Structure 1
Amino acid sequence: MQIDLHRIPVREVVAGYLNTEEDGVSGMNGRLDIRPKYQRLFRYNVEQQQAVLRTVLKGFPLNVFYWSVSGESGGEPTYEMLDGQQRTLSICEFVEGNFSITDPAWPFPKNFDSLSADDRNKVLAYQLMVYKCRGTEDEKLEWFQVINIAGLKLEAQELRNAVYTGPWLTDAKRYFSRENQAAHKYGKDYVKPGDVKAQALLEKALVWIAGRGDDAICRYMNDHRNDQNALELWKRFRDVVDWAKATFPKVRPQLSQVNWPDLYDRFGSRTWNAGELEQRVRELLADVDVTKKAGIYEYVLSGDERVLNIRAFDDSMRTEAYERQNGICVKCQEHFEIGEMHADHITPWSLGGKTEGANCQMLCADCNRRKSNI
């Protein structure tokens, strides 16, 4: 890859600045693609944006920027931003008047138009250190994956987006990469979205349709990268969420911790009485022996107690039961040391037995195993 260092004033970069969100961001009168398809969405918070502008106003150096030569327009070269999007957008958005910055010497926050003429000129005249690069597409993508962008680690799905660009990804991001819209808004009570801008919700949707693991997700994205839309992915997401909403309509915090696609695939074809399920859920939420409340939703469908993490007998209950039995296993009537025995419910939890001393019995390991297998 050929790399040349240039100094470029901010005024050249912000000329003709255009931000159309996910559809594209450009500067230099259309010659600089600030957000190529493989780039992340804007993730800087207000404090980080302000830090960039304070650096510029004080004349301190920013980290270098990397641009890739992408072609030519009107006899002039065009560029894609390989690294530096977050800092560039911070500068451009400030010059556009979209946020303010503070300074101990100022009585109030100032946006770009509120700055003195000298300070406005400082911003526009500030020179960015830019490496202009020429290379193959593979070289650019490889470099993009290893460059540390202002200390923000690229997440796995952001890296996948860098590789599997195309019309499918553009449409998928329309559904899954915007806060308070589409998938985020539709499934907010049933799906923990993570950082939407870091593509966490898109990654979750892909797991729902492709399966877990990087290989499964990459295979699906590669197979569909040239599809004209992501309706299959959106339909799968909605089918699962619609079923969850119909089966468990009462909104509670635990809903977002449930593995809904697994339950949908296992139990979605059966008919359920939502009212009866809700009554059972309420009873289990009030049961102090159930320590994993999110597991209740799977339990009322499957009957598998293991997903509830039923509260175990504590040491004092175990010791009390051991002494009461004189160390004798109630099943085989053999004597064992306490460390060789397991605490067990006399009346099973499923039949109303509580995890309390009076309902505790001690079994040897072999008898406990046999009982568990019945």
Structure 2
Amino acid sequence: MRSILLSIVVVFAGASCKDATGKQGSASTTGSAGSAVKVVAADAPKGPQAMETTYDKMQADKLDRQAEADAKKAGNEEWIPAEHKAGASRWKDVGVYVDGKPMGFLTFGELPIALKPVWVQDKVSAEKRPGTEDPGWRWAKQRFYRFDQYLAAIGIDVKSIKELHVYGPKFAETNISTGKDLLSAKAKEFKFRFGGNVYGKPIAHVPRGFGNGRSADKIASVMVYIKKKPPKIVHNVGLELDGEIQNGVPYYGEPIRGGVRVYMDDKLIAIVKRQELDAAKAIKSPTGELTWKLADVLAAQGAMPKNVTEIWAVRDQKREDKFPGADLATLTFAANSQAKGGLLLGDKQIRANTIAMHSRALKPDELPVVTPDDE
């Protein structure tokens, strides 16, 4: 009898959570403008969330990287990390937007040349040999990057910033800092790193008490507000601007995904997407393959860089090959499946997932160097 009564209670409780159509009901709450908004409740974490910099974390990112490589090998141009497979894939690429304008993306291969790492000594896991007294850990150097220095490197005057919003996978995890915060002593500890040191998703390190004190495991996007009004966090709702919940990039719309980003002196000037290329403007190669002139594609987007000295092909997060700036006028590219989501530049079909152009010749010591601790 006791088990029967328990069953009745469970069935009744489950039925009360569904509507007349049998679908699960959704929670609703009211924003500051007084309008009802359907949301899924998500309480924000309290206080700063410490960022672990361990070998285990790097291994997880290495598995993500291998999954991405396997997906591209199978012909899937766009790979989606595990944490984004539940509807948040629109934030797969971590864009940096200033008043709604895309200014860059947080990947190791797209960091500004002027931005240098801050090295932090870190205890990481290490192999413990059988029959020894090995401690099972070792000291390593972990590379971090300061947010204020990153912003300066892409041409933003930190003193002009009203607010900086660093999104997590959930809007409630957004760290909001003011211009005053970014000029404080604590700003030196407000940093980010990459899960695999030189690859993987960016991860924020928020010092205790910095900004609103919130943080997330991974960064989803970065919003900078200089002239525009910043949105505000509404508890259990998300980010609200003038009474409207912001599910995308404020003042822009849907976050940018995919494509080959093109930079001039560390500033984003264009994004080339294969599906948006005009076949009517393509040139057929001797093998019948369609190719396009890079300069023409850039000009169609209003990007006409001048005084180009070097053109770097960035792939696998590294500057691997370069072309003379004078080649820009005639440089062609293909965008077939062999490009693995990138472009194949020139007659030698050099693969590039990002293109970085510079108005001066970079010195060897300016290029990022991968250390043994990074790998």
TM-score by length of 1: 0.24
Structure with higher helix content:
1
TM-score by length of 2: 0.24
Structure with higher strand content:
2
The answer to which structure, 1 or 2, has the higher relative contact order (CA under 8 A, 6+ apart) is 2
